[in-house]
Structures are given as structure tokens and as C-alpha cells.
């Protein structure tokens, strides 16, 4: 943990708990620094200081409906395609029992959601990280869930499924186009992280990338389009860090590149600070409709925080 704000330090220590939830726990007096209760999220902490969090007892496991405004790209009686904002957790979990996409979907769809995923993940066929924005599809009933799951299980190799992401990474990969094939498992050093692994439990992971644009002279960052052939937890983030080009804003897998921000133009440094998340957006989602068989493709432009960083990266630093 590097020096910085208490809430940001806790996000690094507990990546599965939303920053909003951690800020609430701080305000409730459930967080300590060196054994002393702290109620100010902006409180500065130093590397090596002991942090403590008291999580409240678990609530009932069945998610409850919570009305929420959803950005719906498409909906029919079988599926619903959501353009998820950054910061929204997909399904309930430790530290995120409420305020998730699942809670919103239960309110929106009622009892029609597929039960295959279990009570904690009704209708969920795939997921996006909390701080990754963009498109995902949800099944409204079990038959649709089965049809979509078959496509995701095929990893797009049969041509039915397409998932592409826009990613801003530090530096520029050696090749204009490339394939990263490196199995992923949970990190043995930090169970909150994933890592490239050759262990017996590691699962195949394949990411295709193409350089879209570079920024700076010499280039300090680049915009990539990444296509998933598999869908492992944190796959793009882990793979790009593995080849030495972690995502901008990724506090978990790109912490060693924080000083690289000094190389950015001033406007880009401020935009990156405002982004306050990994620069990753699920921009394209294509699949075969599970009932009609019709090929469907959806596009999502980057949200404003991502777009603002892009615009700033394209500017020349007036201070140089």
C-alpha cells in the first residue's frame, strides 16, 4: 500500500468491496488505523500502517428488488442488454449486498429472470468488473440462459459471440496486433488478485489485441481494442499487466506504473485522476439470439470519464 487517502487504500486492500461501501463503513466508525477509529475517508494513511475493517453480519442471502435507472440497449421477452456504468457491481457479494445490477434487474423484470445462476445471480450469464463500463446481456428465463451460456462456453470460436473492449494502457505493445495466451488462476501471493499461472488449477485465457492509437512522443500510452476468446476474471487487466502494459488507472494490476502519470500532459494527468478506475470499456457485444437465432450486435461508445481522458491524451502538453 502506498501513501494516500484511507478510502483508496481500502479499495486496494478489498477490491471486491465497492468504494462507496467502504466510505460508508468509515463513516459508521467500522474502520481503524493503527487501532484507532477513523471516520474521515480523506484521512491520509502511510505505507505500513495497520488498517482494520469490521464488516457487519451478513444479511439474508436472497437479493431484494431495488428500483434503479438502467441504461437499456435492448430488451425483449427473452433477454435484456444493459450498458453498465462504472462503479456498479453486477451481483451481490461480500460487502456488496445491495445496490447491485441484480437488485435493479429484479425490480425491473420481476420474477421472470432465469434461476440457473442461483438466487444470488439470477439471469447473469457473464459479468463485468465493478469499475469496468459497458455492455452485458442478461437472460430473462432458463431457456435463454442455456442458449447464451452455450455461446459463452464456446468462447466465440464458433462465430456466434463477440466481445470487444477499449483499453488505455501504459506504453505501446511491440506488435500492432497480438494474441496473449496465458492461463489465469487466483494469485497465491494475494487472494484478492488474479495472476498468470502454470498451476494445475489455472484456466485457459486468450486475449486478442490491436493498437488503435498512441499518445505522446515518444509514446507514453496507447489505445487498444481487445477481443476476448475466453472470459476469465480480470482477464484483460491481468494479461496486459503480464506483457508489461497495464491499464491506466488500474490500482490493482498497474500500481507500479503510478509514477508514469508524470509523463502525461497536465490535462491528461487530471483526467486520469478524475477517471479513478481502470480505463476499460466493453464497447461491442454480439451474440445469437437464444430463441430466434438472429445475429445481434450492440455498440457502446465510451462514457464521458473515459472519453475525457482520451481527449486529454490527444492534446500536446503546453508546459513542454
Active-site residues, by number, are 129
* CA–CA separation, 73 and 127 (whole Å): 16
- Write the burial class of residue 3 (CB in 10 Å: 0-12 exposed, 13-18 middle, 19+ buried): exposed
* Tally of CA atoms within 13 A in the half-sphere of 72 that contains its CB: 13
* In contact, 131 and 8? CB cutoff 8 Å: no
* CA–CA separation, 71 and 228 (whole Å): 23
* CA–CA separation, 118 and 106 (whole Å): 13
* CA–CA separation, 160 and 126 (whole Å): 15
What grid cell was written down for 87? 462503479
* Tally of CA atoms within 13 A in the half-sphere of 182 that contains its CB: 17
Sign of CA dihedral 219, 221, 225, 231: positive
* In contact, 105 and 123? CB cutoff 8 Å: yes
Nearest in space to 309 (alpha carbons), one of 272, 257, 284 = 272
- Write the burial class of residue 118 (CB in 10 Å: 0-12 exposed, 13-18 middle, 19+ buried): exposed
Which residues fall within 8 angstroms of residue 201, CB to CB, at 6 or more apart?
185
* In contact, 23 and 41? CB cutoff 8 Å: yes
Place of cell 428500483: 67
Amino acid at each position: 500500500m502506498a501513501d494516500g487517502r484511507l478510502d483508496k487504500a481500502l479499495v486496494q486492500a478489498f477490491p471486491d468491496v465497492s468504494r462507496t461501501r467502504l466510505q460508508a463503513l468509515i463513516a459508521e466508525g467500522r474502520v481503524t488505523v493503527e487501532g484507532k477509529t477513523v471516520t474521515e475517508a480523506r484521512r491520509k494513511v502511510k505505507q505500513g500502517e495497520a488498517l482494520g475493517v469490521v464488516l457487519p453480519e451478513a444479511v439474508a442471502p436472497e437479493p431484494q428488488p431495488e428500483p434503479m435507472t438502467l441504461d437499456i440497449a435492448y430488451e425483449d421477452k427473452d433477454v435484456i442488454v444493459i450498458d453498465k456504468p462504472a462503479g456498479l457491481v453486477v451481483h451481490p457479494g461480500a460487502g456488496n449486498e445491495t445496490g447491485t445490477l441484480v437488485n435493479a434487474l429484479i425490480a425491473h423484470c420481476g420474477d421472470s429472470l432465469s434461476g440457473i445462476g442461483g438466487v444470488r445471480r439470477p439471469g447473469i450469464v457473464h459479468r463485468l468488473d465493478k469499475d469496468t463500463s459497458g455492455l452485458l446481456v442478461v437472460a430473462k428465463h432458463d431457456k435463454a440462459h442455456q442458449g447464451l451460456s452455450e455461446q459463452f462456453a464456446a468462447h466465440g470460436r464458433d462465430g456466434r459471440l463477440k466481445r470487444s473492449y477499449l483499453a488505455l494502457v501504459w506504453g505501446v505493445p511491440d506488435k500492432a496486433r497480438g494474441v496473449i495466451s496465458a492461463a489465469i488462476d487466483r494469485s497465491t501471493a494475494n487472494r484478492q488478485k488474479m495472476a498468470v499461472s502454470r498451476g494445475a488449477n489455472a484456466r485457459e485465457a486468450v486475449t486478442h489485441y490491436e493498437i488503435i492509437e498512441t499518445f505522446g512522443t515518444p509514446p507514453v500510452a496507447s489505445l487498444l481494442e481487445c477481443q476476448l476468446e475466453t472470459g476469465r476474471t480480470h482477464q484483460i487487466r491481468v494479461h496486459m499487466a503480464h506483457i508489461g502494459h497495464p491499464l491506466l488507472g488500474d490500482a490493482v494490476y498497474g500500481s507500479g506504473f503510478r509514477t508514469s502519470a508524470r509523463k502525461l500532459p497536465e490535462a491528461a494527468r487530471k483526467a486520469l485522476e478524475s477517471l479513478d478506475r481502470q480505463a476499460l470499456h466493453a464497447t461491442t457485444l454480439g451474440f445469437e439470439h437464444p430463441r430466434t437465432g438472429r445475429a445481434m450486435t450492440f455498440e457502446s461508445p465510451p462514457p464521458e470519464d473515459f472519453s475525457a481522458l482520451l481527449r486529454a491524451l490527444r492534446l500536446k502538453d503546453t508546459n513542454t
